[in-house]
């Protein structure tokens, strides 16, 4: 699943390439993911042009010169192609935008779980749960004090708490594991058991892990192009079950509950 660092890399990639570029044609191949009437989607985009590319949580937001936005939440398997028209189209391509610069922007989604919205003149309240998103983890407004105040509103296991995007936006399963490892906090500890020191370490880990990962993924995307799957080889514990902990050498634990994998070090995250 694309998470904040991945979406921030997409934002940077497209923001370097498409602002001011016109959309000559729009084609919808699989309408299931498009949360707008097909004809309306095509009519709104055709003849329009891109403005700046933004991000909010796990949404990538393509602003349009008309004042509207194309808002995309890739969910588990949504990905993009930005390529010449002659390049082979990926399976499960949902829509294609033919651009005035000779490229095509395509969205493909193997599981067809993504959500694509046309947002009229910034009316994001029409996008389900968009208005409930918490602050951006890397924003200046999220100070350690603000984070602590927000965190203490929640109960339950700490991993579940930081996955709740009403706390902060954009953290998913992979980076939740990385954040908690960096903070030295066991993923199944109750939020109410955390000390003020724990809260401070968690805040700093959120900002450092996500900030460093966003820089790594952005650089790789610029050099290597848009990936078919997320870059994950820089992660230290997520999906590293049975491998040695990079801090202490103990075996990394892997627990699967439902469809979610959790990885942590029992020694470093007591």
Q: Which residues pair with 190 in a beta bridge?
A: 157
Which is the catalytic residue, given 38, 155, 260, 266? 260
Can 236 be counted among the known catalytic residues?
no
Which is the catalytic residue, given 2, 74, 135, 187? 2
Which is the catalytic residue, given 11, 55, 58, 79? 58
Can 74 be counted among the known catalytic residues?
no
Chain CA centroid to CA 270, Å: 29
Given a contact cutoff of 8 angstroms between Cβ atoms, the answer to whether 36 and 118 are in contact is yes
**C-alpha to C-alpha distances, 54 to 60, 183, 188, 270, nearest whole angstrom:** 6, 29, 34, 38
Given a contact cutoff of 8 angstroms between Cβ atoms, the answer to whether 70 and 130 are in contact is no
Can 244 be counted among the known catalytic residues?
no
| ∠ Cα 254 181 164 (to 5°) | 85
Can 8 be counted among the known catalytic residues?
no
Given a contact cutoff of 8 angstroms between Cβ atoms, the answer to whether 146 and 137 are in contact is no
Active site residues: 2-3, 58, 260
């Amino acid at each position: 699943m694309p998470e904040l660092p991945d979406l921030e890399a997409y934002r940077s990639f497209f923001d370097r390439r498409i602002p001011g570029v016109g959309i000559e044609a729009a084609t919808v191949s699989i309408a299931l993911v498009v949360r707008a009437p097909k004809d309306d989607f095509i009519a709104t985009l055709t003849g329009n042009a891109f403005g700046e590319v933004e991000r909010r949580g796990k949404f990538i937001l393509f602003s349009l010169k008309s004042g509207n936005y194309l808002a995309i939440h890739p969910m588990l398997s949504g990905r993009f192609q930005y390529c010449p028209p002659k390049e082979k189209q990926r399976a499960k391509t949902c829509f294609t935008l033919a651009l005035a610069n000779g490229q095509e922007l395509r969205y493909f989604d193997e599981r067809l779980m993504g959500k694509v919205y046309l947002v009229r003149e910034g009316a994001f309240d029409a996008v389900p749960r968009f208005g409930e998103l918490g602050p951006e983890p890397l924003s200046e407004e999220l100070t350690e004090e603000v984070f602590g105040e927000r965190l203490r509103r929640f109960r339950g296991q700490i991993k579940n708490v930081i996955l709740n995007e009403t706390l902060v936006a954009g953290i998913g399963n992979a980076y939740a594991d990385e954040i908690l490892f960096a903070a030295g906090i066991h993923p199944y500890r109750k939020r109410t058991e955390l000390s003020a020191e724990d809260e401070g370490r968690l805040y700093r880990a959120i900002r450092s892990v996500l900030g460093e990962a966003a820089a790594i993924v952005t650089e790789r995307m610029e050099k290597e192009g848009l990936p078919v799957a997320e870059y994950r080889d820089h992660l230290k514990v997520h999906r590293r079950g049975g491998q040695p902990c990079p801090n202490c050498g103990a075996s990394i634990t892997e627990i699967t509950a439902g469809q979610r994998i959790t990885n942590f070090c029992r020694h470093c995250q007591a």
